[in-house]
């Protein structure tokens, strides 16, 4: 059974810092991995999608990497801003079941 874990559960940093969020998954048989952002009381916004054959994807100040063999992904946020404060969730689509399975999320607070 695929399990997705995110560490840390919460993170507080001063504005301007570069930071890394971690995601690990137990079954390497994945179709792709997505990183989402969720603001309080809102739905999820897709940030980055990495196909299983890819190593990384970049969008603006965000960079996501994927190491399928070790079951790990990282989301790197450069020059963090208070507007980046939100919960970040990673999710994988299992190659075997087609299910999209989420981690518990990392809640980020960027202080001005």
Partner 1 sequence: EAEVAQSPRYKITEKSQAVAFWCDPISGHATLYWYRQILGQGPELLVQFQDESVVDDSQLPKDRFSAERLKGVDSTLKIQPAELGDSAMYLCASSPDRDRVYFGPGTRLTVT
Contact positions vs partner 1 (CB under 8 A): 4, 6, 31-32, 34, 36, 41-46, 49, 89, 91, 93, 97-105
Minimal distance, residue 67 CB to partner 1, in Å: 20
Helix (H, G, I), strand (E, B) or coil at 38: strand
Choose between 2 and 80: whose C-beta lies nearer to partner 1: 2
Choose between 50 and 77: whose C-beta lies nearer to partner 1: 50
- Burial class (CB within 10 angstroms; exposed 0-12, middle 13-18, buried 19+) of 60: exposed
Minimal distance, residue 70 CB to partner 1, in Å: 21
């Amino acid at each position: 059974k695929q399990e997705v874990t995110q560490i840390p559960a919460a993170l507080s940093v001063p504005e301007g810092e570069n930071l890394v969020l971690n995601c690990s998954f137990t079954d390497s048989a994945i179709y792709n991995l997505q990183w989402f952002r969720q603001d309080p009381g809102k739905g999820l916004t897709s940030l980055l999608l990495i196909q299983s054959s890819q190593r990384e994807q970049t969008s603006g100040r965000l960079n996501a990497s994927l190491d399928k063999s070790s079951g790990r992904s990282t989301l790197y946020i450069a020059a963090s801003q208070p507007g980046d404060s939100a919960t970040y969730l990673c999710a994988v689509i299992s190659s075997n079941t087609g299910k999209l399975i989420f981690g518990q999320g990392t809640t980020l607070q960027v202080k001005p």
